[in-house]
Structure 1
Amino acid sequence: MERLHAATTLVVIISKTFTTQETLLNAKAIKQWMLTQLQDSNAIAKQFFAVSSNVEKAQAFGLQTSHVLPMWDWVGGRFSLWSAVGLPLALAIGNDNFKDLKAGAYEMDKHFQSADFSKNMPVLMALIGMWNRNGLNYSNLAVLPYDHSLRALPGYLQQTDMESNGKSVSKQGDKLHWPTAPVVFGQEGTNGQHAFMQLMHQSDEIIPTDFIVALKGTNSLVEHHKVLVANCFAQSEALMQGKNLAQVTGELSDQGFSSEEQNFLAPHKIMKGNTPSNTLLMPALTPKCFGAILALYEHKIFVQGALWQVNSYDQWGVELGKQLGEQVLAFMENKTTEHSMSASSVKLIEAFLQEQNDTH
């Protein structure tokens, strides 16, 4: 905000219900900033837009009806990119690129709808994931995009996957007898190779992996992209093949190490292998290809939710945190002395309040 000019700033508030605490807190702060800067009571009506299913609350906030872009109340936030929620993205990348993004998603939609299951990418990825999760009891999924521009994708898919299928009861409310969503994590390559991939190669934990890479780079440094792609392919090969004791001993012998040195070093250089992975190839990282990838994961998650028999579109665990957040805030502000919080939470709140008192 320090670099913004109030008279030339457009504000888009995105809140499905227009009741989300942290979103409205930000919106109120920016509203106050704009009114203070411009001394114009009509500024909010002119320069604020909202994307919401609750048009009435947006109007009560001070927005014009024509500035409220409605979204369907049945669209979950994690699946809402394709709705009016995508407005800031369209503003950032331009309408042509946003249309290409949606076109790529639409092509994946049609593929999912019409392709035979034996060639259907979302279905195949869903079944592979379920075999890893339920057949082999692997509890994690690493998503490793080999492109710096996709560095936020693993975090995006964490919500899409775990908030959708992180459940333990069926749609009918019955306790499930099988695990559902994996723990999703990841980072852009090659950074992950120097971090958690050590564990993936040499611990006893087997972590199925999705590699994502473009065949053509987005800049003129052709050699750099070739090395990046080589690293991607090498990691999937290493996860699959590993390196056994005989191979390690043979390499050490060829390097001139003594038998005693071989016996000492060899156990430290063994890689278990036999770790499953998918490699998703794009011709290039374009809005159209990216749209297809996002839709691919959405449909995969839908298929898994249907087969696991969970409701992929609620998030009561998230709602609990919101409810407790209100309770904690009320307790902090001395609006209530009645609560159901544990003694440890009360001590944490007291520590916070003490620091506030000492500061002021």
Structure 2
Amino acid sequence: MTSPAQPDSLAAIAALPQADLKSIFTADPDRLSKLVLTQGPIRFDWSKTHMTDDLLSGFLALAEEQGFAARRDALFAGEPVNNTEGRAAEHPAERGEGNPDSVARAKALHARMRALIDAIEAEALGPIRHILHIGIGGSALGPDLIVDALGGDNLRYDVAIVSNVDGTALERAIRDFDPHATLIAVASKTFTTTETMLNAASAINWMVEAGVEDPYGKVIALTASPDKAIAWGVDETRILPFAESVGGRYSLWSSIGFPAALALGWDAFESLLEGAAAMDRHFRLSDPKENAPLIAAFVDQYYTRIAGCETRALFAYDERLKLLPSYLQQLEMESNGKSVTRDGEPVDGPTAPITWGGVGTDAQHAVFQLLHQGTVLTPVEFIASIEPGHTLDPAHHRALLVNCFAQGAALLRGKENPSDPARAYPGNRPSTTILLDDVTPEALGALIAFYEHRTFANAVLLGINPFDQFGVELGKEIAKSIEAEGPKGFDPSTMALIGLALGE
């Protein structure tokens, strides 16, 4: 296969000069009005990036050239946008936005989940104080983010979310749980995921050893394969299905969000869905020049494809959002970490950058040295909330926000020091700031949906399919073959490791 030529509009973008961030506001006094957008409870500020009027026009042309509007319409119509697997991608339908039949089905499944939650709250499964949620990938990262961000003193149950097959993770999770008062949620789209099912079996054994009379009666299955859950031992009345067209990393809006809906209350879960639906409507209906996910994708494309940046850093200046970087690592890197187009041809350049990050202000004392004075240009994204998540002295939150805004200003401005180069900062380093009114269910739902649509918009501009993930399968297949057939036919290094650690 030969590499396809770049789109004409991308070549035109690449020919444009790079703006100097240090003087960019002087050069364009109206910059804030063009590159700051407020959508609901979220303010997006791209003004400290290298985006200019000419670049914006170029990327708008690229979006038209790549058929963005038609691809977006196909997503919301429930058409098979996941072409390699012949499936739709209907996570928006879980929020009430999409194909009417799919929306109706999602509402019915949500009603089923709410009815089961009502029964649990009425102690139909006995007194419950703890929720043990077992999943991996999107089946764990989404619920973990939601519960951690919105929980705190609002949690009505103790919640532990386990994904790692390392038994240490499960042991630590259940250490302070009473097995007689624990509900186990097993989240697996296929109900065959090796790590999840092994953890689930061990959790059942924990209950059996503690003398729980009917351990399977304390299991809720969250799956798109109800028959497999029944075969495993879960009663049909305690199975919460979701659609096959909802991908794992996009699934927290479905029954995969059960632990959050139970622990936070149905009203909070519904507000999460409503916030995401508002972002769905914004993405679907807004003019491209005022479309937050699309503009964010333009910025991403500039730094990845034009400026050659291989990473993107994300820092949450709010402890409630500390799990967001991990969540976005999967969303962005599993979705757009591809090397072929939708047609199976080699891509014409880099696709997804490596997403990484941390929490402010901790990260300032760990990795910001490289961001300010290192030789690797890294676009930075700051996320903060106007309202704090605590009732302590307001000085805490003021110091947090001051540090957040100061870092963006320092990256842009830099500092000259001709007499001591070690103390000089080059500046001209880009950052985006996303400012929430508060970390509420509505705002968090909108924020996550924004990142989902941003990921999709990037995929359209790249011409790739963001909804498959075949790259995660090969390692799994090899692991299964070792378990089934023993180690044979591998490279000498792998054979030596297996022999040393497993005695085989």
Check whether TM > 0.5: yes
Q: Helix, strand or coil: the match of 2:359? A: coil
Q: Which amino acid aligns with 1:133?
A: T
Q: Which amino acid aligns with 2:434?
A: L
Q: Which amino acid aligns with 1:348?
A: L
Distance 1:102 1:314 in 2: 24
Distance 1:125 1:39 in 2: 51
Q: Helix, strand or coil: the match of 1:154? A: helix
Q: 2:413 aligns with which of 220, 236, 241?
A: 241
Q: Helix, strand or coil: the match of 2:364? A: helix
- Whether the aligned pair in 1 keeps the contact of 2:320 and 2:389 (CA below 8 Å) is no
Q: Deviations over 1:298-354 (max 9, x none)?
A: 000000011111110111111112112212334xxxx435x3421101111111024
With the length of structure 2 as denominator, give the TM-score of the two structures. 0.64
Q: Deviations over 1:80-139 (max 9, x none)?
A: 011110001112222222112111111111111111111110010011110111111111
Distance 2:490 2:249 in 1: 30
Q: Which amino acid aligns with 1:276?
A: P
Instruction: Name which one, 1 or 2, has greater alpha-carbon Rg.
Output: 1
Correspondences of 1:109-258 after superposition (within 5 Å): 109-220=280-391, 221-244=393-416, 248-249=417-418
Q: Which amino acid aligns with 2:422?
A: H
Tell me how many residue pairs correspond in the alignment.
330
Q: Helix, strand or coil: the match of 2:455? A: helix
Match of 2:92 in 1: none
Q: Helix, strand or coil: the match of 1:216? A: coil
1:288 to 2:464 alignment: no
Measure how far apart 1:39 and its partner are. Answer: 5.7
Distance 1:284 1:149 in 2: 10
Q: 1:30 aligns with which of 203, 206, 218?
A: 203
Match of 1:72 in 2: 243
* Unmatched segments (≥5 aa) in structure 1: 250-262
Match of 1:348 in 2: 497
Q: Which amino acid aligns with 1:328?
A: I
Match of 1:256 in 2: none
From the superposition, tell whether residues 39 and 282 of structure 1 become closer, same or farther in structure 2 (CA, over 3 Å): closer
Q: Pick 1 or 2: higher relative contact order, CA cutoff 8 A, min separation 6.
A: 2
Q: Which amino acid aligns with 1:336?
A: G
Match of 1:21 in 2: 194
- Whether the aligned pair in 1 keeps the contact of 2:220 and 2:238 (CA below 8 Å) is yes
Q: Which amino acid aligns with 1:275?
A: R
Match of 1:310 in 2: 464
Q: Deviations over 1:15-46 (max 9, x none)?
A: 00011101000111111222332363x431x2
Q: Deviations over 1:179-223 (max 9, x none)?
A: 000110000101111111100100111100110011121223211
Q: Helix, strand or coil: the match of 1:187? A: strand
Q: 1:322 aligns with which of 458, 476, 483?
A: 476
Distance 2:502 2:306 in 1: 49
Measure how far apart 1:54 and its partner are. Answer: 1.1
From the superposition, tell whether residues 61 and 143 of structure 1 become closer, same or farther in structure 2 (CA, over 3 Å): same
Distance 2:406 2:260 in 1: 34
Distance 2:181 2:385 in 1: 38
Distance 2:215 2:363 in 1: 46
Match of 1:102 in 2: 273
Higher mean C-alpha displacement, 266-275 vs 163-172: 266-275
Q: Helix, strand or coil: the match of 1:10? A: strand
From the superposition, tell whether residues 134 and 101 of structure 1 become closer, same or farther in structure 2 (CA, over 3 Å): same
Q: Deviations over 1:50-84 (max 9, x none)?
A: 01111111011111112111111121111101111
* Unmatched segments (≥5 aa) in structure 2: 1-173
Distance 1:209 1:181 in 2: 15
Distance 1:135 1:2 in 2: 50
Aligned sequence identity (%)? 39
Distance 1:279 1:201 in 2: 17
Match of 2:255 in 1: 84
1:43 to 2:192 alignment: no
Distance 2:490 2:244 in 1: 32
- Whether the aligned pair in 1 keeps the contact of 2:180 and 2:212 (CA below 8 Å) is no
TM-align CA RMSD: 1.4
